[in-house]
């Protein structure tokens, strides 16, 4: 016996029920034409992941049911084709004044124009970016379908990270495990998935098909890289990362012998390649799915804006990216030269708008109020806010979305200006520490993954000391520890939840650790008002980070 399958590793759009349904129908027809008898779509593929509080709207849930019926009806002429669709189902039930939700996160099997089986996800994650217990009730029974004599046990994402659901499928007679997924990306997540699914395959002795989605949804990124394992947990096939693909494979089940898996295996990738593709995909999908004609950003001649522009051009093409240089009295000549050089290398529209007249006007307007007081960060922030106003004006007039250019190190410590450089619609590198910014810039100069030009970032931008250029002879290290030290402290404090004592024990000076921890605490109000941006670590400032603004805890 054998099972020929296809994974619809596709980019689904939240709320586009008709469009998503058509993608599933087209994929099923193409898979059938190429000899597959089973099509697996990702978790919640019909509605997109994650639809969040749309799940609470009865009309949305009814629309999902209708779209599922449409798929079944459209594929009724393929009686030997089995399609597994991820979708939500059910509604709230009111008991007195309390609403009890009885919705399920389901995988429904369509064949011959009807629903033949439906499985409700048993393990509902409620950590990191996940909030599934807010919307769904867990299932409690296994589901095994038969295709050409092969019995396939269905699981949904989190189910396969626990032993119980897979064992239940095995006991119900499964010979193959099929897991449909929407597993958000972070650096290193792919290795974790293969390792965890390998354990599940070894525990059951069953080959395992892992069907994953691809695409960007607000701050989440899905990387694809669907795969298939043999019964020993060995990787036998894998789809491409960050690309839509119909991924085909075959599992042979000879009598009394271990299963044999046939599938293509995509080349191994570096963390930098994964991170770059995640950032590019997140920008492309956020801009395109929200129907912006293009983007604009302030190009300062510094490393952060240079990296953001390179990502934007790879994501959208040079014709949809506009760069604006806004020099102040403190802008160095090399910043002008490097910004012009990079814009020319990448072929984007480039404009220069001096903020000197506006800055002088603000200082004149405030001269009486500030009389006798020295200049400080107040005047620095005025410059950043002038730039924010100019960029937002251009955005309003021409419709392009502003990309902010602040990194995770700055956002963590508050080294950014509210309503200034934080103003914009999408914060591309808000989850990328400064040291990683430099790594990515060097990687991009050595690689041209989208054919938009090699070495886009002038070397001097990478090698010169970082500066906000808001006062004379300013560098970032005037206000912050060296980035190598700062980022290690931040990673331990923010991402790993280490205590101050633990961070000191790792080799950092206590006074510096306490200062950095204080900066993280007191700048929560800024982060709460920052633009959404892609999550590329396991702990981002967004869904992962939910700290109170008003907070007297000091550790």
Give the catalytic positions in this structure.
43, 121, 157
Encoded tokens for 257? 């012998």
What is the C-alpha separation between 545 and 555, in angstroms, rounded?
Answer: 16
Please give the structure tokens belonging to residue 64.
Answer: 């999902």
- What would the two tokens of residue 340 be? 């012009």
User: In sequence order, what are the residues at sequence separation of 6 or more whose Cβ sits closer than 8 angstroms to the Cβ of residue 63?
Assistant: 17
β-strands 295-298, 260-263 pairing:
unpaired
Query: What's the Cα-to-Cα distance from 333 to each of 78, 330, 415, rounded to whole Å?
Result: 67, 9, 23
- Tokens encoding 539: 């702990």
Q: Which of 28, 21, 29 is nearest to 48 (CA)?
A: 21
CA distances from 488 to 134, 187, 411, 459, 522 (A): 34, 16, 15, 25, 19
Structural contact between residues 49 and 222, judged by C-beta atoms closer than 8 angstroms: yes
Measured CA distances, 259 to 150, 186, 232, 254, 300 (Å): 11, 32, 9, 7, 58
Residue with tokens 């069953």: 206
Q: Which residue from 127, 42, 116, 125 is spatially nearest to 81, judged by alpha carbons?
A: 116
418-421 contacts, C-beta under 8 A, 24 or more apart: 418/526, 418/529, 419/385, 419/388, 420/381, 420/383, 420/384, 420/385, 420/387, 420/388, 421/298, 421/384, 421/387, 421/388
* 62 close to 87: Cβ distance less than 8 angstroms: no
3-state SS, residue 548: coil
- Name the maximum alpha-carbon separation found in the chain: 91
Backbone angles phi, psi at 192, to 5 degrees: -60, -40
In the numeric block, which tokens belong to residue 350? 């480039």
The CA distance from 314 to 296, in Å, is 14
DSSP output for 182-207: -----TTHHHHHHHHHHHHHHHHT--
d(CA 259, CA 174): 13
Q: With 0-12 CB in 10 A as exposed, 13-18 as middle and 19+ as buried, what is 131?
A: middle
Q: Contact 79/111 with Cβ under 8 angstroms?
A: yes
- 467 φ/ψ angles, rounded to the nearest 5 degrees: -150, 140
Beta strand 208-211 with 227-229: parallel, antiparallel or unpaired?
antiparallel
Q: Locate all alpha helices (DSSP H) within 238-329, ordered by sequence.
A: 271-289, 303-316
DSSP assignment letter at 470: S
Gyration radius (Cα) of the chain, Å = 26
Tokens coding 122: 């048993």
Q: Where are the alpha helices (DSSP H) in 414-452?
A: 434-446
């Amino acid at each position: 016996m054998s099972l020929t399958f296809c994974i619809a590793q596709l980019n689904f759009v939240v709320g586009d029920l008709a469009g998503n349904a058509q993608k599933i129908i087209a994929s099923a027809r193409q898979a059938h034409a190429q000899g597959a008898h089973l099509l697996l779509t990702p978790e919640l593929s019909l509605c997109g992941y994650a639809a969040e509080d749309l799940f609470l709207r009865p009309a949305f849930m009814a629309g999902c049911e209708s779209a599922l019926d449409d798929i079944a009806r459209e594929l009724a002429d393929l009686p030997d084709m089995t399609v597994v669709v991820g979708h939500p189902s059910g509604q709230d039930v009111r008991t007195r004044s309390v609403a009890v939700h009885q919705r399920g996160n389901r995988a429904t099997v369509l064949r011959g124009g009807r629903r033949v089986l439906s499985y409700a996800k048993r393990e509902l994650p409620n950590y990191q970016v996940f909030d599934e217990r807010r919307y769904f009730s867990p299932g409690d029974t296994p589901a095994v379908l038969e295709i050409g004599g092969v019995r396939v046990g269905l699981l949904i994402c989190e189910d396969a990270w626990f032993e119980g659901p897979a064992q239940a499928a095995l006991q119900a007679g499964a010979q193959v495990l099929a897991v449909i997924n929407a597993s958000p990306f972070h650096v290193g997540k792919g290795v974790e998935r293969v390792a965890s699914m390998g354990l599940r395959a070894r525990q059951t002795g069953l080959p395992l098909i892992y069907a994953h989605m691809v695409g960007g949804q607000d701050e989440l990124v899905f990387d694809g890289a669907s795969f298939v394992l043999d019964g020993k947990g060995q990787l036998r096939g894998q789809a491409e990362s960050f690309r839509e693909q119909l991924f085909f494979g075959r599992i042979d089940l000879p009598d009394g012998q271990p299963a044999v898996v046939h599938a293509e295996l995509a080349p191994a990738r570096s963390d930098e390649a994964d991170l770059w593709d995640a950032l590019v995909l997140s920008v492309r999908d956020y801009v395109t799915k929200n129907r912006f004609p293009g983007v604009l950003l302030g190009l300062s001649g510094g490393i952060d804006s240079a990296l953001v522009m390179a990502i934007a051009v790879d994501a959208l093409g040079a014709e949809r990216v506009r760069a604006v240089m806004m020099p102040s009295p403190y802008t160095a000549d090399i910043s002008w030269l490097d910004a012009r050089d990079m814009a020319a290398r990448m072929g984007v529209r480039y404009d220069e708008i001096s903020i000197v007249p506006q800055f002088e006007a603000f200082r004149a307007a405030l001269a009486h109020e500030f009389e006798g007081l020295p200049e400080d960060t107040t005047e620095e922030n005025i410059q950043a806010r002038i730039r924010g106003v100019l960029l937002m004006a251009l955005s309003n007039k021409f419709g392009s979305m502003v990309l902010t250019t602040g990194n995770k190190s700055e956002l963590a410590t508050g080294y950014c200006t509210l309503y200034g450089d934080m103003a914009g619609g999408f914060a591309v590198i808000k989850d990328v520490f400064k040291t990683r910014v430099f790594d990515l810039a060097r990687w991009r100069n050595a690689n041209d993954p989208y054919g938009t030009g090699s070495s886009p970032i002038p070397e001097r931008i990478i090698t010169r000391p970082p500066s906000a250029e808001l006062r004379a002879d300013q560098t970032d290290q005037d206000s912050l520890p060296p980035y190598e030290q700062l980022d290690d402290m931040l990673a331990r404090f923010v991402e790993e939840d280490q205590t101050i004592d633990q961070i000191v024990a790792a080799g950092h000076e206590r006074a510096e650790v306490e200062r950095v921890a204080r900066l993280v605490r007191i700048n929560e109000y800024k982060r709460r008002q920052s633009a959404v941006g892609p999550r590329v670590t396991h702990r981002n400032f967004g869904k992962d980070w939910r700290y109170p603004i008003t907070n007297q805890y000091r550790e």
